[in-house]
Amino acid sequence: MSKLLDIEKKYIKEDIPDFQSGDIIKVHIKVGEGKTSRTQIFQGTVIRRRGAGINKTFTLRKISYGIGVERTFPLYSPVIEKIELLSKGKVRRAKLYYLRKRTGKKAKVRKKVTIKNMTK
Amino acid sequence: MNVIKAIIGKKLGMTSIYDENGKAIAVTAIEAGPCIITQIKIDRIDGYNAIQIGFGDVKAKKLNKPIKQHFKNKGIKPKKVLMEVRVNNTKDFKVGDIIKTSVFEKGDVVKVTAISKGKGFTGAMKRYGFSGQPASHGAQYHRALGSTGASSYPSRVFKGKKMAGRHGYKKVSALGLEVVEVNEESNVILVKGSVPGTKGRIVLIQDMGKRRGK
């Protein structure tokens, strides 16, 4: 088993912020266009984290021009350049699929109020 | 020297890695070798040309006398697994040669042979892919194998008729798999896709003489 972990270790990134369902994060994605590549940003609420080891993934949901958009990323994909944690959310479950049925203000996750946030 | 592109290993399990384009690929990790050539079979004596290779150490007292003597005659430490690989020309090989993972490189197309996972006693639908009968429209006969032959002639079921029975645990080869990574230090070969058998099963990797990619 440990030899399998050794193979995965090479691809596992250490510098990923600790984020959970309900948090709002910003993902910098490398997009290749022929020979050149540029960075695209996808920002949204984390509605799910799943998997183990190298196969961990997370799903972001955002409302773009009134239409709900979800995108799933492999957590350790080399395509992801950077993940920024923008705010923590206050949620009571791990999978926020209930957001899909909701619209407007109800489709939002309340922000977690921490001492750090309050001083701002 | 011409090296034999075949190695015995142990299936470690599956995982995924990322290629240079950032694409995830499912791979099977095989802990392969080092193997040793234990016997060379030649056409004149054995009726065919082949190389016998051994893998994994074992205590001599675990073996029976004929096999113990086989290793003793060759002056080789007893090996757990012996397998044969057919070759056209045996001149390039000698007993005691060591085969390491480095005989393979990235991009090689290989065939992996192992005993598949046992499925137990299964029906004809799972075992031979029979279609079965309708699930609905009043059918009361769903997964049975159907007719096994005509009536008064031949008045019997032909031998070899595909029926329910033990499925799996048979020697199977997965063909055309690509070698994705070779690690010489940890003796691990990563092969794209799945390989027959459970984790820990002994597998034989053989080159198919083709290359993929650059």
The pLDDT tens digits of the residues spanning A57-100 come to 999 999 999 899 999 999 999 889 889 999 888 889 999 999 99
Contact between chains at B190 and A7 (C-beta distance less than 8 A): yes
Model confidence at A1: pLDDT above 60: no
Per-residue pLDDT, B1: 47
Residues 1-60 of B with CB under 8 A from A: 12-13, 15-18, 21-22, 24, 29, 31
Is the ipTM above a cut-off of 0.85? no
The domain limits of chain B are: 6-119+170-211, 120-168
**Residue B130, pLDDT above cutoff 80:** yes
Which of the residue ranges A6-10, A76-80, B10-14, B196-200 would you say has the lowest mean pLDDT? A6-10
Confidence of residue A53 (pLDDT cuts 50, 70, 90): confident
| Beta-carbon separation of B12 and A79 below 8 A | no
For residue range B115-128, what is the model confidence (pLDDT) as tens digits?
Answer: 999 999 999 999 99
Set out the domains of chain A in order of their start, with CATH numbers.
2-119 (2.30.30.790)
Query: What pLDDT, in 10s, does the model give residues B153-181?
Result: 999 999 999 999 999 999 999 999 999 98
> Looking up tokens 């299964």, which residue turns up?
B122
Evaluate if residue B187 carries a pLDDT over 60: yes
pLDDT at A115 over 70: no
Size of interface A-B (CB pairs under 8 A): 40
pLDDT band at B139 (very low <50, low <70, confident <90, very high): very high
Pick left, alpha or beta for residue B118 (phi over 0 → left; psi -120 to 50 → alpha; otherwise beta). Answer: beta
Asked if A6 lies within 8 A of B186 by C-beta distance, the reply is yes
Where is pLDDT greater, at B94 or B204?
B204
B38 CA to centre of own chain: 19
Average pLDDT score over residue span B38-62: 89
Residue from B85, B5, B8 nearest B51 by CA: B85
Strand partners, B24: B18
Sign of CA dihedral B49, B55, B61, B64: negative
**Mean pLDDT (chain B, rounded):** 89
Q: What percent of chain A is helix, strand and coil (3-state, nearest 5)? A: 20, 40, 35
* Cis bond before residue B154 (omega within 30° of 0): yes
Pairing label, strands B108-115, A36-50: unpaired
Inform me whether the C-beta atom of residue B180 falls under 8 Å from chain A C-beta atoms.
Answer: no
Q: What is the pLDDT of residue B88?
A: 84
Question: Is pLDDT above 90 for A104?
Answer: no
Q: Which of B8, B33, B6, B28 is nearest to B16 (CA)?
A: B28
pLDDT of amino acid A72: 94
User: What separation in angstroms does the CA of A120 have from each of A19, A88, B52?
Assistant: 21, 14, 74
| Domain B6-119+170-211: which CATH number of 3.40.50.2300, 3.40.710.10, 3.40.50.300, 2.40.30.10 | 2.40.30.10
Out of B12, B17, B188, the one facing A11 most closely (by C-beta) is B17
Residue B174 sits at the chain A interface (C-beta within 8 Å): no
- Strand-strand pairing, B202-211 and B108-115: antiparallel
